[in-house]
Chain A
């Protein structure tokens, strides 16, 4: 089971919007609406930002949104803020009853 493909890094200025892609296959991202997004600061536990493709847990800013088209899921952060700087990971359920993470994307707020 290969890791989902994410860009290694993205950047944006405060107030701008960015999108992080997460590409898998029909056996994972494309086959199920079980795509999750996490924000991770090294040394801390990952925080759930989006669940089941596009749902936001309570307490997560509505600046965060998720979507999916075919085998690619996306996380969009609008109105970038300095506090958004972190590593972001997607994860997906797979046809093997396992889970797989993306390689992670480092977001830099310029």
Chain B
């Protein structure tokens, strides 16, 4: 069965960077874009961007451009999301998701990133 398994919770200081991984299994990794979505405490879902696992191409939400980098390693069917220059309002649960491809819609379990001094 399709599974997206994310790395564990992180605690970072303001100004630092965080890199979250998302390992895919149960399907051909390069067949579907991988998206990243976050939810801050008390807030809604926020789309951050996607990486094309086949080409490595990316497209980011304007809000995160210059601060986010999405990559992939096809040899281990894993996508990565790195967010730099962290601020306290980046505290959120970060999800990887294969979405927007009709019914092929799967989400990771979420990774809590806490930014605190």
Where the two chains meet, the residues of A that have a C-beta atom closer than 8 Å to any C-beta of B are: 1, 3, 34, 36, 38, 40, 42-43, 45-46, 48, 51-52, 55, 57-58, 87, 89, 91, 93, 96-104
Contacts and interface: CB of A to CB of B under 8 A. Distances in A.
A107 B47 CA distance: 22
B115 to A, nearest CB: 19
Contact of A98 (B61, B97, B107): B61
Interface of B: 35, 37, 39, 44-47, 49-50, 59-62, 93, 95, 97, 99-100, 102-103, 105, 107-110
Given A48-B105, A51-B105, A98-B47, 14 more contacts: A43-B110, A45-B107, A45-B108, A57-B105, A87-B44, A91-B100, A96-B59, A98-B49, A98-B61, A99-B100, A101-B47, A102-B44, A103-B44, A104-B44
Contacts of B93: 43
B117 to A, nearest CB: 25
9 contacts: A3-B44, A36-B99, A45-B95, A45-B108, A55-B102, A57-B105, A89-B44, A99-B99, A102-B44
Given A45-B110, A101-B37, A1 B44 contact: no
- B interface: dominant SS: strand
Which of A52, A98, A100, A104 counts the most B-chain CB atoms under 10 A from its CB? A98
A36 B100 contact: yes
A45 B50 CA distance: 18
B47 A93 contact: no
A102 B37 CA distance: 13
B45 A97 contact: no
Contacts of B109: 45
B44 A46 contact: no
